[in-house]
Structure 1
């Protein structure tokens, strides 16, 4: 019944489902959900009367088990990694509320960050991740969990931890606990639209060997003139996790 390949762990604690829904403004808004699961969020979103609502579900078997035709009409059998959200909502802004499939949650997040970079069309996101991944997303510098996801996400959103969820609140029970994060768009993105790929490149380059100090990395990315003019020598003796997010955004501008 439950398919590991789709990362299916269904939330069964109704109180937590209620708490997640209350984190978002839904009435008359455009809402996207990924993963129907046991309809824990789907029913509640529909009851709040969104303007346009789509719930994406890749597993046809799950959809076939849903007998209520009213709920079923909101569900689309699509792969969330491949769907064009802008076309789905006819180029209107939308919010995302989802107990994300654990196996593709980071990929989905990166996809939505790219969409926000290009179109600024996401009003908000309330997303559930595995706890360890959530901790990486909200980590700040000087923390061993700080890295690419935190820097990329914070270029577009203010991110708050909202709810910790025990693994026992799911069925089947996963190996780890989960955390719900709320993403609120920044008034102005921290990077220029054309710099997203640069930021991906820079953060990958620095954090692929996160325990090594930065001198060789900086000298490989920037020429001597750029290093001198921007005083990048001050980062030589540090490690990637010791550099503030805003400094990585500056690296994009000077690269």
Structure 2
């Protein structure tokens, strides 16, 4: 029985599963999966011989169902939003491969961005999102979908669209298509670790009213001295979507 509350939509196309697995070098790497579900990805990950592998499954019924699976010891009955991945891998670097539960995919991504900001412990992420969210994550400046999630994500990762998967490749069939994105850790983060909360605050203020020009927003965040010193009045007549990612990262450094 599939449980809507856990955002369960299981990938049933074996060819697509192979394509997803090939996006990451798994052998001798630490690999994390969220929501192993029907084990479509799980089995193929294990075949590639990772150094350490854990699959987090919140649905106890699925954990029980898979208890006779020969690698059942790798499936942990835990909530992915509450576990400490950094400690799970003994403070070693790891990668994530997952068909994310739709209902918490954005929350998980933000959680992992915060982990990367603090520890720089994630090497790569191969993640499947609902198409609309994926498009917001990779959206660029001067587009309607460009916003907080793309700015926050790009502070730590290079993000590439790899696969677009139609909804009929899942069971039960979801209402939307999905997209697989590859996140590759930057050699150097775009912001200092102590500035992540500033970036969250700044982007929230700017994009809460994304159609309005930036004058009031800049005056709300910065002092008049800061505005004058850094010539922030040059951004007054623009809208939030007209400012580059680097501009927002710059804002965190002067706040």
Aligned to 1:250: 250
Q: Does 1:5 align with 2:10?
A: no
Looking at structure 2, the residues matched to 29 and 44 of structure 1 have their Cα atoms a distance apart, in angstroms, of 14
- List structure 1 runs of 4+ shifted beyond 3 angstroms: none
* Alpha-carbon shift at residue 127 of structure 1 (Å): 0.3
1:11-160 alignment, distance < 5 Å: 11-160=11-160
- TM-score scaled to structure 2, two decimals? 0.99
Measure how far apart 1:71 and its partner are.
Answer: 2.5
TM-score (norm 1): 0.99
Post-superposition offset of 1:77:
0.2
Q: What CA distance in whole angstroms lies between the structure 2 residues aligned with 1:195 and 1:214?
A: 21
**Separation of aligned partners in 1, 2:69 and 2:150:** 40
Say yes or no: does 1:211 pair with 2:211: yes
Q: What SS does structure 2 have at the residue aligned with 1:70?
A: coil
- Root-mean-square deviation (Å): 0.7
**1:127 aligns to what SS in structure 2?**
strand
1:231 Cα deviation after fit: 1.1
Q: Which residue of 2 aligns with 1:236?
A: 236
Unpaired stretches in structure 2, ≥5 consecutive residues: none
Structure 1: stretches of 5+ with no match in the other structure: none
Q: What displacement does 1:177 show?
A: 0.3
Aligned residues: 255
Within 2, Cα distance between the matches of 1:15 and 1:69? 22
CA distance in 2, matches of 1:71, 1:3: 24
Distance, in Å, in 2 between the alignment partners of 1:183 and 1:10 is 22
Could you give the per-residue CA deviations for residues 130-170 of structure 1, whole angstroms, max 9, x where no partner exists?
Answer: 00000000001101000000000000000000000001110
